Amino acid sequence: MPNRKPSPSKPGLAGPTLADIRVARERVSAVVDTTPMEKSRFLRELLGQDVYLKAENLQRTGSYKIRGAYNLLAQLSSEQRAAGVVAASAGNHAQGVALAARELGIAATIFMPLGVALPKLQATRNYGAEVVLHGHVVDETLRAAAEFAERTGATLIPPFDHADIVAGQGTLALEILEQVPDVTNVVVPIGGGGLISGIASTFAQLEPELGRRVRVIGVQAENAAAYPPSIAAGEPVSIATTATIADGIMVGRPGDLNFGIVRDAVDEIVTVSDDETAQALVVLLERAKLVVEPAGAVGVAAALAGRYAVDGPTVVVLSGGNIDPMLLERVISRGLIASERYLRLRIPLPDRPGQLARTAELVAEANANVVEVLHTRHGSGLQISEVELELHIETRGPEHAELVLTKLRDAGYRPRVDF
């Protein structure tokens, strides 16, 4: 969807005004940290332009969500505050609402799905919210939260489809501009669209002051990419999402308000696979020394995969860092496999002494490292006189992995890469 950003003077650009966003910036400054802007040498080499990482993974609660949540809650009437607030979330929105409510002295009830990651559950409780576990999928959790609001009079706090939420997220654009005044491109993860609509709306309305357009690029997980078909249809449409490691942006339908802003003010939307996201997470750990959740890493994933080209200083928003350590372990493994730095090989061998030692010797001669071995007589497709060896091997990348395979093949073995 190239070249969709209108002149900011065009009437009808949906959502909060620039004045609303500037007021929100003052309002949220009481609780929101100014997060670091890290220059990325490895992305500069890749894209040929100065690239910066906006580290919202280091924000309070571990994501940008506190911006919108606090901006909305701070404007509630005394009657609304007395009745409390309620939200439904599997993670970052829950923590943002919980902290905002605590800072403002408002009782918060957060509905979370059964099976929510333990660190997210504990963090939400630690911020002072009452947590209710309900439903196996987020839709069930949302319905329960809405019923609670209807029954108790509590204010339901939506995760993205609200003008005050959008204005709060738009404060990030003002912060980006202060840290990188000559920014030309901003790359933003997209789920329901709260963050990108806030950022894109802000830059669109700033165009007369800046005297230039800031290009905004959105990135979705390919298993939960509702915006491309919605843009094509001219209205928000629901899609069937499938499992993705980027669960923080796994939203099946754009927000109504958010859709209008994205349609009019975002220049391009691209998608990335889970393997590409996993590789990006590993790169961020190794090269930037930053722990980022999969949803927060999709902008880097799209850069590594060549999904977009840029001209001029570029900011990639790392939207969050809340990742369960157990998931982190699995994602790192997947990222290493996807980048061919971790090979899982199955090798049929003659069932006689010395074969295990010989294969290990060949791997060592190729300067690779065996980290795990499984030796079995029960592999599928084996001859009665054969066994199967499963080797897990660390390599330095695709070329080194191919060298290991060639070494084994030249010795008469038939290694099969098992993903």
Catalytic residues: 65, 319
Structure-token match 């969709």, residue found: 4
Radius of gyration of the chain (CA): 24
**How far is Cα 338 from Cα 275, in angstroms, rounded to an integer?**
6
Whether residue 274 contacts residue 338, with contact meaning beta carbons closer than 8 Å, is answered with no
**How far is Cα 242 from Cα 50, in angstroms, rounded to an integer?**
35
**How far is Cα 195 from Cα 147, in angstroms, rounded to an integer?**
27
Strand pairing partners for 185? 215, 314
Whether residue 199 contacts residue 186, with contact meaning beta carbons closer than 8 Å, is answered with yes
Whether residue 216 contacts residue 196, with contact meaning beta carbons closer than 8 Å, is answered with yes
* CB-based burial label for 3 (10 Å; 0-12, 13-18, 19+): exposed
**How far is Cα 284 from Cα 290, in angstroms, rounded to an integer?**
6
Residue 15: name the closest of 195, 157, 210, 197 by CA. 197
Residue 248: name the closest of 128, 393, 92 by CA. 92
Structure-token match 């996807």, residue found: 338
In DSSP notation, 74-98 reads TT--HHHHHH-EEEE-SSHHHHHHH
Whether residue 92 contacts residue 67, with contact meaning beta carbons closer than 8 Å, is answered with no
